[in-house]
């Protein structure tokens, strides 16, 4: 992890929020391009999971696994 994130928790929080915003925006755009109107229900579930699970994982990794609030 870069030194600025170890020293400044607001930088880590800002980077985390920026990554989440970019991921949700880009994945929503790409999923809307590829998804048709008459897609099956499981396609909607997969697109929802693709859109929101990676940001949750990144947040868990940065703040809980790496101990973002402990340092």
- Reported as a single tens digit per residue, the pLDDT across 20-58 is 999 999 988 988 887 777 778 887 888 888 888 888 888
CA distances from 32 to 13, 26, 47, 51 (A): 28, 10, 9, 11
What is the pLDDT, as a whole number, of residue 22? 93
Query: Given this model, what pLDDT does residue 25 score?
Result: 92
**Residue among 1, 12, 27, 10 nearest 59 (CA):** 12
State mean pLDDT over 16-23: 90
Through-space distance between the first and last CA atoms of the chain, rounded to whole angstroms: 12
Q: How far is 11 from 25, CA to CA, in rounded Å? A: 21
Confidence of residue 69 (pLDDT cuts 50, 70, 90): low
């Amino acid at each position: 992890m870069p030194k600025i994130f170890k020293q400044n928790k607001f930088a880590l929080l800002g980077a985390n929020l920026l990554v989440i915003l970019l991921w949700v925006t880009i994945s929503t755009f790409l999923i809307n391009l590829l998804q048709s109107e008459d897609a099956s229900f499981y396609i909607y579930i997969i697109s929802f999971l693709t859109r929101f699970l990676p940001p949750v994982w990144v947040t868990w990794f940065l703040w809980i696994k790496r101990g973002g609030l402990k340092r």
